[in-house]
Amino acid sequence: MKKPEYIVAIGASAGGLEALSAFFEHTPIDSVSYIIIPHLSPDFKSRMVEILSRHSELDILEAEEEMPVEINKVYLIPNTKYMGIRNGKLFLIEKEGQSLPHMTIDAFLTSLADERGPKAIGIVLSGVGSDGSLGAIAVENAGGVVMVQDPNETKFDGMPRSVLNAIDTPYVFSAADLPLAIQRYISTRNEIDVTAEAPLSEEALAKFVDLIKDQYPFDFTHYKNGTLERRIRRRMTHHNLLELDSFFAYLQKNPQEIELLISDFLIGVTSFFRDREAYEVLEREVLPKIISAKSENELLKVWVTCCATGEEAYSLAILIKEYLLEQKSNIDVKIFATDINENALKQAAKGVFSNNITKTVSKERLVKFFDKATDSFKIKPEIREMLIFARHDLTKNPPYCYVDLISCRNMLIYIKPVLQKQILAKLGFGLRKNGYLFLGSSENISVAKDTFVEISAKWKIYQSIKSDRAIIFDGQLTAPISNLSIKYGEKEIKPKALPRNSENAPDLNEAILSESGLSGVIIDREGKVSNSFGDLSAYLKQERFKFDLRELLPENLSLAFSSTLQKVIKSNQRERINNISFIEPETAKHSTADLIVSPYADRKTNFKGMLVLFKKSETVEVQHNVASFKIDVQTKEYIAQLEEDLMQASQDLNSSNDFLETSKEAMQAFNEELLSANEEMQSANEELHSINEELETVNAAHKYTINELTDLNDDLNNYFRSNVNGQLFVDKDILLKKYSPGAVSHINIMESDLGRPLSNITTNIKFETLIDDIKKVISDGEIIIKEIESNQGRLYQVMTSPYLKKGNDLPNGAIITFYDVTDLKKAQHELDKSIKMLSLATVASEMGTWSIDVQDKELFCSIRLKEIFGFEADTEVALDDIIGQIEISHQPIVMKAIETAIKDDGRFEIEFPIVRLIDNAHSWVRAIGNLSHDKNRTAAFLTGIMHDVTDHKLDDLRKNDFIAIVSHELKSPLTSLQGYLQLLDRNARKTKDEFAIGALEKTMRQVKKMEVLISGFLNVSRLESGKIYLNRQSFEIDALTREIVAEITTANTTVTISVAADCGCIIQGDRDKIGQVITNILSNAIKYSPSDHMIEVSCKAEGESVQISIKDHGFGIKTEDLEKLFDRYYRVESAKTKTISGFGIGLYLCAEIIHRHNGKIWAESEIGKGSTFCFSIPCLH
């Protein structure tokens, strides 16, 4: 036994048989082992081994306990077991008692991962649910590989998509291509192992992003590189393309492949109540605060971004609905569920989900908020009406406004920080003050943390704290500084230009300024600080932080700055003062610094102000236009400037006071009106914008609803068109609303009859009570079924049932359905006729009929059968009652015959004695039956007839008595005749009368034949009367066989017999009788075979029995003769056998002897090639 290096485990469910067939049709013999783990029904025997064997040259076996796993073999899990693997052997665990659902694929994949590690290969094919996802994670964590059938190819994509959501595998192929992928993976793991390749460059990714952006409304520019790369690699592997350029060219030629790539980029992983604890926090800490702040007329607005197929949106709707019901609140709720993927939105709008949601939605919620279908759940209308689904691109479209709760979960983790910041700004803008933001557990608001306060650190729930609503765009605060030229001494320091929106720009600019020793601030015209850079701790008073720079600077620096600022404002020229002596605020040390004040403007924002730079003083040469700081001079200049400014200000003040006084009240009133109007217009504008978005969303929802109604209408029309039965729909006033095309041919309805009272429509049916029946159905809600006849003689079954509307139990009309049962009635009539004829024939033949249910042994029997056993006609009779009337010696024989017929799928035929219940009379009956099966080929009923054969049995007994008497009477004179013939033979030999000697020899041979014939008749008689007894003893069958062959070979020197008798079996039986059987069959072989052909005799053990076979090369026996070969007195008649003597007794006696040893005897033959006679009997060992 050779163990495999790799073991391939294949999981499949609904639609998996077709995928498995395709898989194994392309599977090479490649020294691996395959384990199949399908979802099989425990109630029916699987035929998968038989089916898959047609598609593969590999051996396919049903797994058994402790079965070793060998190469080039396929093992199938039993339908009632879990399966695992340990030390190279399979082990089984009963499903019974295990909780549902049975995750058999997860169980085996996990076991395989533990057993084989990196040598484990998991395959997941078509199926519903998520079985296989946990196992796939285990295999991947163990270093193995997981491959998945392409979800776009599967009949049911639940299991493949569940695995793809759980792990990031690039191995996605069609079922037919998977074997080749496995072979390539094993032979050259690096060939398609995408994880080993170097990461894609920014330029390479940009090519794909631009290609998509040019043709579709999707921009993935700011998605993280790893997210895009993994999905590009996956599609490459799917098409067996190893070169990036080849895949790019393939995309250009195949637009549909671009759509598949986009679908992969749009990660739609979601589920109901994902992170249950997070929803508990919402329920406990968030919803009560939001709802308690609402009045009855206020709208509660929720926005679920990136909603995919809607599970999260519906989860929030259910949570809110539960809380409102608990609080008995009637406030309106509107949940906007948006996504960029229209296909996902269509699915979400339907509100239909697979049975897999039972894992995440409680039973109570399933009952309360879902309608159950055969294989799915549908959201109830009261929840569906709370949601509006619409397409929305967070990166481009404006946000919804005045929202109370925004959910944006597990989207930010896939995009770069620059886009994260934009989106968080939009979400903050969309929230009301004190609104809540709900992120994924791996996300945070680090790029916008000044806008929110944390509610739950673990589950990333935040509350908006800003009252102003402004969207922050992705500018860099230090961008204006990056283009400044800073001159110090003779040196010009210019920071290096950086790319726009570079994430490193702030850090680089700061580093350049630090290296030059410069620190500074940007101020507006009033001296208020708007930005700062560098280390300002030596120059600013941090403990008294204000925005006016004059108040932040130490005394001398403040004085120097104030006087210099006025000069720069007047001259609009750069000014510099060196060697300003001051006391550092932080350390109280004496220090000197240089001060530079320069005009500054930002063209992008139209900001105008001043750039103020500080630098510790150094010993430098005196420069032109640069003054050193002298406090008395600066003070006098500053005072003079202040006096001049004060005088000018006083004059300006006096001249304007009069004007201000006269216009103050009017201007103030006018200003207030303008402010009020402006606020109203701003508010109205925002409301209009919000309403417009909501209208667009509602319009999209209506569009989805219209499409659904159109599809539903198409479904109904197609149903009506394909329905051969006629159907009428009437309203509660019995006006015809609708009819199916089948009604036209059946009952002569026309389109012009729509809207007319049904009582005024003339049809070709004889149904006077139809109108009354409809009225009764509408009033009582019951269903009425009647049979009627048309004018053409056709028969119809008419079912009148109530027409119900959803949410209303009272009938709103009626549905009348016409089923044409003419052919059915004819067939029923013929069947009744056949049953009657069969009944008459059964009565005439005095036979009883019976049927036994194979499963519960329940007996169905006719009155005649009850009469045979002496029961009253109206008595309930069970199988045990019938068995009880059989003579005790034959009861086990009959029961065994019944069990054998059921087990061997064969014919039941037996005679046995009974004792009639009514009069204790003894009689014999003969029972004949056959096994029938249900639609699943499972044994269902053993059915047959039974008749009284007492008279036939008595005739047989009389015949046997007669044969015994005649045979006995003939034996005495025959013995005397033999004696006289022997005397005559001696006299003839004395006289040497050759003629007499020859005649006497022939006479003696005829007498011997007569003796054998008489003995045969006697044996038959004794067998049938039970007077032949077996002298049982233990003996070795090999020795008996060799002994008989030696005797026959000695007597027939022209015969060649080969013997293979070395099985060593010990028999408990009648040695002479078994020897008689072997002798009889060997004698027949000699008689019916050419003298120059060999006869082969063999003994071999077969389980708990020994089988003896005698093969000749004679004439052969026809198939129709084989069935009767062991019947009493039956002899094969043919031209070749007419010259060979025989009476048809020998094989009958052989069969009876073997049967009395609880054995079997049979013959196999082919015309012209000889025959093989076999019998088997139990052996001791």
The total of other beta-carbon atoms located within 10 Å of residue 139's CB is 27
Residues constituting the chain = 1181
Closest CA to 218 of 270, 170, 258, 165: 258
Beta-sheet pairing, 7-12 with 33-38? parallel
Distance between CA 164 and CA 147 in Å, rounded?
Answer: 9
Nearest to 611, CA basis, from 534, 533, 520, 530: 520
Strand partners, 520: 533, 613
| 884 vs 902: CA distance, rounded Å | 21
| 663 is annotated as an active-site residue | no
Q: What are the CA-CA distances from residue 362 to residues 210, 370, 385, 1100 (Å)?
A: 45, 11, 21, 64
399 phi and psi angles, rounded to 5 deg: -80, 160
Q: Which of 33, 39, 111, 1112 is catalytic?
A: 39
Beta strand spans in 348-425 (E): 352-354, 370-372, 376-379, 387-391, 403-408
DSSP secondary structure letters along 857-886: --EEE-HHHHHHHT--TT----HHHHHHTB
Give yes or no: 131 in active site. Answer: yes
Give the residue among 774, 769, 801 at the shortest CA–CA distance from 787.
769
Of 304, 315, 300, residue with least CA distance to 402: 300
Which residues have C-beta within 8 Å of that of residue 755, sequence separation ≥ 6? Answer: 735, 736, 737
Q: Give the residue carrying structure tokens 């004695």.
A: 913
Distances (CA, A) of 829 to 791, 821, 822, 1148: 21, 12, 11, 48
The crossing angle, in degrees rounded to 10, of helices 225-238 and 202-215 is: 80
**Beta-strand (E) ranges in 343-460?**
352-354, 370-372, 376-379, 387-391, 403-408, 431-439, 452-456
Residue 1181 annotated as catalytic: no
329, two tokens: 């609140």
Which residue of the set 111, 126, 130, 131 is catalytic?
131
From CA 465, how far away is CA 1117, in angstroms rounded? 102
Q: Which distant-in-sequence residues (6+ apart) come within 8 Å of 136 by Cβ?
A: 109, 122, 124, 146, 163, 166, 167, 169
On whether the CB atoms of residues 814 and 774 are closer than 8 A, the answer is yes
Q: Which helix (H) or strand (E) holds 1126?
A: none
**Contact at 8 Å (CB) between 125 and 171?**
no
**What are the angstrom distances between the C-alpha of 26 and each of 34, 49, 436, 531, 761?**
13, 17, 56, 70, 64
Burial of residue 970 (number of CB atoms within 10 Å: 0-12, 13-18, 19+): middle
CA angle 949, 953, 959 (to 5 degrees): 145
| Whether the Cβ atoms of residue 101 and residue 14 lie closer than 8 Å to each other | no
The 3-class SS string of 451-512 reads: CEEEEECCCCEEEECCCCCCCCCCCCCCCHHHHCCEEECCEEECCCCCCCCCCCHHHHHHHH
Q: Which positions are annotated as active-site residues?
A: 13, 39, 131
